Structure formats: structure tokens, C-alpha cells
Amino acid sequence: MSTERREPLDRRRVADTALRLLNEVGLDGLTLRAIARELDVKAPALYWHFKDKQALLDEMATEMYRRMVAGTALDPADTWQDRLLRANRGLRAALLGYRDGAKVFSGSRFTGIEHAGPMEDNLRLFTAAGFTLAQAARALTTAYLYTLGFVTEEQGVQPLPGERREGYDMDERARLMADFPLSAQAGAEIFEDYDRHFEEGLALVIGGIGARYGVS
């Protein structure tokens, strides 16, 4: 058969392939056997490169982070508001790039300390803008946690942009909610136009940071 000799795998290539596969099959379908098949290899081969599946997921999360950093242009001259907007829009976009992206990301830990660079950069920008270090950390973390929560819920309803998970029929929902008019009306809006709602929530967080820490 194929006398072609494959290049040996490495952690990065495995994580790459796994991320591509993730979009096709989702987190539930992302089995070691399926990943191995994609790499033209048997499942136990993966254990040469990763001590267990979680380690592979960690590498995937790290790779997601790398791509987010690469895909998010950060201007050193940003105001702290710009920076928060850019960074969190970039994070959301990165997570939305993968089916169950938020789940994979928030269920994993980075494999290295590459994330320390951008973080240091952000903290420097914020402290230079007048925040104490504790305030800077709280501001960045709060926005980060909001974004993570937002995308997690978003992907629960809408696994990939354009697709919609079943069980979210708006007509039936309206009927059940007949006795709760405000909820019915609010809900009809909540489950649509995630882009706008994300921006609005992010603006709330940023506004709160400015107001509470007296920095503008």
C-alpha cells in the first residue's frame, strides 16, 4: 500500500487536527479514535504526545488562544476602553470559531505561559491609565468572565453561527409564557441578535469600570 512515510506527529499538529474535527463533530463526537483516524494513526499513538485526553484539550485551548492573539490586532495606543472592547470582541470571535469553543476553552488550562505576555501588556496599559494593579486585574477579569459566560450561553443555543440547536422554538415558548408577558417579550429578543446583545453587555461592564474606578 502507501509506501509514503508520514511525518511524525507533534502536539501542535494533533491539536490542529482536533480543532478542525471539533467543528464537524462537536465536543461529544471528538473521540480519540476519531482524531487518530483523521491523523492516519491509531488512538493509542496519541498517548505518546499527551498523557491523557485532557492534556490534548488543554493544548487545543492553548492553540485557540494563540490564534486569538494572532487574529486580534492590539494597538499600543489604545485607550483602556478600546483595549477591553478589542480584546473581548477578539475572544468572542475566537470562541465562536469553534463548535463548543467556549466549553473547550473554559474547561481547560493553558499548557505554557504564553498568555502571560498579552496579560502583562494589558495590565501595563491599565496601570498607565491610572488604575491600581488590583483595579486593573478586576476590570480585565470581570470583562473576561462576562464574555466567557456570554459565549457559553450563546453556543448552547447556537453551536455555530448560523446553526440553531433544536428545542428553541419561539412560538411554543410564547404560548407557554402567556402568563408572563414581560418575560415572553424579553425572551423573544434575548434569543436573537447575539452580536448586538454582546456589545451592549460589554458596554455595561466597561461603563461600570469607568464609573467605579473614576478613570476615563
Give the nearest distance from C-beta 131 to a second copy in angstroms.
Answer: 11
Residue 107 binds to DNA (criterion: CB under 7 A): no
Spell out the residues 6+ positions from residue 104 whose beta carbon is closer than 8 angstroms to its own: 22, 27, 57, 60, 61, 64, 98
Tell me if 53 sits within 8 A of 31, measured CB to CB: no
Tell me if 141 sits within 8 A of 92, measured CB to CB: no
Cell of 107: 474547561
Contact residue for DNA among 26, 38, 53, 82 (CB under 7 A): 53
Sign of CA dihedral 42, 45, 46, 52: positive
Site for a second copy in 84-103 (CB under 8 A): 103
Binding site for DNA (CB under 7 A): 5-6, 8-9, 29-34, 36, 40-45, 47-49, 52-54
Binding site for a second copy (CB under 8 A): 103, 106-107, 109, 113, 116-117, 119-120, 123-124, 127, 133-134, 136-139, 141-142, 144-150, 152-153, 156, 167, 176-177, 179-183, 185-186, 189-190, 197, 200-201, 203-212
